[in-house]
Amino acid sequence: MTTPVVLLLDPIPADAVGDALAESFRFAGASDPILSAFDAGAGRGDGIFETLGVNDGRARGIDAHLDRFAASATKLDLPQPNLPQWRAAIERVLGELPRTGQASIRLVLTRGNGGTPTCWVTGSIVDGDFPERTTGIRVVTLSRGYANDVGEHAPWLLVGAKTLSYAVNMAALREAKRRGADDAVFVSTDGFALEGPTSSLLLRQGDRIVTPAIQHGILAGTTQADLFDVLTAEGFTCESRRIDTRELLRSDAAWLVSSVRLAAPITAVDGTDVATDPELTARMNAALLG
């Protein structure tokens, strides 16, 4: 099959098994339209997604992505996804991707039309070698408009859910490019660093690795969690806590980490060069690809 791959999933109950599950898949052409004008995913960004990185035919962190997918469904009052169905869908899409090289898989579940969700999985080959894994990225800090504890008080703002309503994330990336940078770090109105528009933030401070705590208005990062395992095994102390925006400038290294680009070292923040750790960056990316 040619790529990209599109696999449609029939909506089935979360506990459906057997034939109902096995027969719930159907491939579509990459450019085939699959969503109607009245689907909540098409008209209101009302749904959830996950993006998984794939290397040499293996998808990273399937369990963590499925867990977060189910948690996002709960936060949006969507029907619970049938996780064995989605796992089988990932395997089917993997079966259509090349056995070597890098790729990405995306899971999408929308609120559909009339209560029945619309579900699909895509698989795409990732072009290029991600030179930014070594050359790094220049970032700007952009206000997210929220205080760091907004998610605790206003769950309807969906700050911890990975929703299809990504227009602000995309606008932030355009603003970063407009300012001559490669990416952005969202900061809270009360002075804390949060996350990138499509990534999590990691800092090294001596033998400690820190990331913003998820109760502080951010999405739980699957790549960040993988790296905490890797770095703990290396002897680092890993912790989640509030991170003052000024720590971006005075750490020993900083990264934006995500499922497909992996660990991209931050080389400058708002035009000021910052320290990097090329050896650790290389080990992190090697571990993620390993």
**Could you say which DSSP state residue 217 is in?**
T
The answer to whether the CB of 221 falls within 8 A of the CB of 283 is no
Nearest of 254, 237, 236 to residue 245 by alpha carbon: 254
Note whether 86 binds a copy of itself by CB under 8 A: no
Instruction: Please give the structure tokens belonging to residue 85.
Output: 């169905």
> Strands, DSSP E only, in 84-242?
102-113, 116-125, 137-143, 183-187, 193-195, 200-205, 208-212, 237-241
Q: Kindly tell me which of 190 and 247 has the beta carbon lying closer to a copy of itself.
A: 190
Q: Kindly tell me which of 170 and 286 has the beta carbon lying closer to a copy of itself.
A: 170
Note whether 106 binds a copy of itself by CB under 8 A: yes
Q: Kindly tell me which of 64 and 142 has the beta carbon lying closer to a copy of itself.
A: 142
Q: Kindly tell me which of 44 and 246 has the beta carbon lying closer to a copy of itself.
A: 44
The answer to whether the CB of 238 falls within 8 A of the CB of 108 is no
Residue 121: CB minimum distance to a copy of itself, A: 9
Among 150, 254, 256, 288, binds a copy of itself (CB under 8 A): 150
Conformational region of residue 183, where left means phi above 0, alpha means psi within -120 to 50, and beta covers everything else: beta
Measured CA to CA, the distance from residue 128 to residue 242 in angstroms comes to 35
Count, residues near a copy of itself per rule CB under 8 A? 57
- Contact pattern for a copy of itself over residues 178 through 197, marking x by CB under 8 A: -----------x--------
- Which residues in the 32-51 window bind a copy of itself by CB under 8 A? 32-47, 49
Site residues (CB under 8 A) for a copy of itself? 4, 6, 28, 30-47, 49, 76-77, 106, 108, 110-111, 120, 122, 142-147, 150, 153-158, 161, 163-172, 174-175, 189
